[in-house]
Homo-oligomer: A and B are copies of this chain.
């Protein structure tokens, strides 16, 4: 598996036009360049139809944005974990605020991902929910207050207590789970604050994908990551 280390930035391409197809590939290459130049950990979470292509063109890890809680078989129109893996993904987002699933599905996806050596980043909307997710033993849990997603108001600045509570409850229920956070993050100060509050990385979407100069923003964030790598 392509290695993932902390602190970590996961760039979620969603279904933004600038994250789709040719444009998505260009953006993925920018993420790849910055990650290699600074030797920091950046992951791109791309659309299903782009995974194989993008994974073959860059070195950093490629994630799916969702997989379904199914096994191989009669499941028309579903996303099979094994297919995502064969296409080159090394991890997946799970239960994103825009793709919420049942508790039973979350548990099955985490279990099957582990069996298939696929990294899981499960999203939570509150610290309480982060605790429940930690109990299911994913690789990481990203707390994202939904009202801040896409707002430009960062969770780390506007609701630092959401982050500190999440870090604490995840530590309590399952210290093996990496606490991440997201929502509204647009600049390197937001990232720095998030790491200071105890997270091991961030989940970002529009802040990079819709930026005028994504490379510049990622470079500044990479410098923050570097600083926290050295601290350890």
Contacts and interface: CB of A to CB of B under 8 A. Distances in A.
A74 to B, nearest CB: 5
Contacts of A111: 128
Chain copies in complex:
4
Interface string A63-75: 0111000101111
Given A17-B72, A48-B48, A104-B100, A131 B125 contact: no
Interface stretch (A1-9, A81-89, A184-192, A194-202): A81-89
A212 interface: no
A29 interface: no
Contacts of A136: 128-129, 131-132
A115 interface: no
Interface stretch (A36-44, A91-99, A152-160): A91-99
- The 3 A-B pairs with the shortest beta carbon distances in the complex, nearest first, are A66-B77, A77-B99, A48-B48
